[in-house]
Amino acid sequence: MWDINYEIYQLNTRSYRFSNFIYIIIDKTTRNALIVDPAWKLNIIVDKLNQLDAALQGILLTHSHYDHVNLVAPLEGLFNPYVYMSKAETDYYGFRCNNLQAINDQDKISVGETMVTCMHTPGHTAGGVSYLLKDSIFTGDTIFIEGCGICNSWGGLPEQSPEGTGRDGTLGAFKRKYI
């Protein structure tokens, strides 16, 4: 079995009709942390980071929809983390923030001894990214429990979705999927 040197915590935050899952990844050695798609409830996230004795080093954005990015600015103000989104997504939709790091397919992001691989998974949006760890994957809205996410929003293309490109087999191979 792989030696897993990270912890993953799931938060569920809500606003009106939105209900989003947010994930905190903590490298056990350094307690440095990444957060995936922070949205809606800043106090819940800050309290959880404090409770876990975690230092926020980076924000992983799967795509630029508002319900996945609306806490980027306040978290930048509090913790000054790097903010990762694909270049394809920022080019297409014009997303901007202070600490933006434009990433490409197969780029690596490290937090302590934990390595994250970026995988371009368009379909739901033009530049959607899934983030891969040793035994886990974070897919944002590209994949839901029921199947692929909607492909009819602006920039979404069903033929580029994981099912369309045959990458759903790759995505399906992971033991722990975070969606």
Query: Under rule CB under 5 A, which residues in 25-84 are in contact with Zn ion?
Result: 65
Please say whether the dihedral angle defined by the alpha carbons of residues 172, 164, 178 and 78, taken in this order, is positive or negative: positive
Q: Which amino acid, 71?
A: L
DSSP string, 2-39: ----EEEEEEEEEETTEEEEEEEEEETTT-EEEEES--
Q: How far is the CB of 148 from Zn ion (least distance, A)?
A: 12
Q: Which two tokens stand for residue 28?
A: 């056990």
- If the CB atoms of residues 32 and 62 are measured against Zn ion, the closer one turns out to be 62
- If the CB atoms of residues 32 and 142 are measured against Zn ion, the closer one turns out to be 142
Q: How far is the CB of 115 from Zn ion (least distance, A)?
A: 26
User: What span, in angstroms and rounded, lies between the C-alpha atoms of 131 and 145?
Assistant: 17
Q: Number of residues in contact with Zn ion, rule: CB under 5 A? A: 2
Q: How far is the CB of 44 from Zn ion (least distance, A)?
A: 20
Stretch that binds Zn ion, among 23-31, 78-86, 95-103, 139-147 (CB under 5 A): 139-147
- If the CB atoms of residues 54 and 69 are measured against Zn ion, the closer one turns out to be 69
| Beta-bridge partners for 109 | 116
Among 76, 89, 141, 168, binds Zn ion (CB under 5 A): 141
Please say whether the dihedral angle defined by the alpha carbons of residues 57, 96, 157 and 14, taken in this order, is positive or negative: positive
- If the CB atoms of residues 89 and 141 are measured against Zn ion, the closer one turns out to be 141
Write out the residues near Zn ion by the rule CB under 5 A: 65, 141
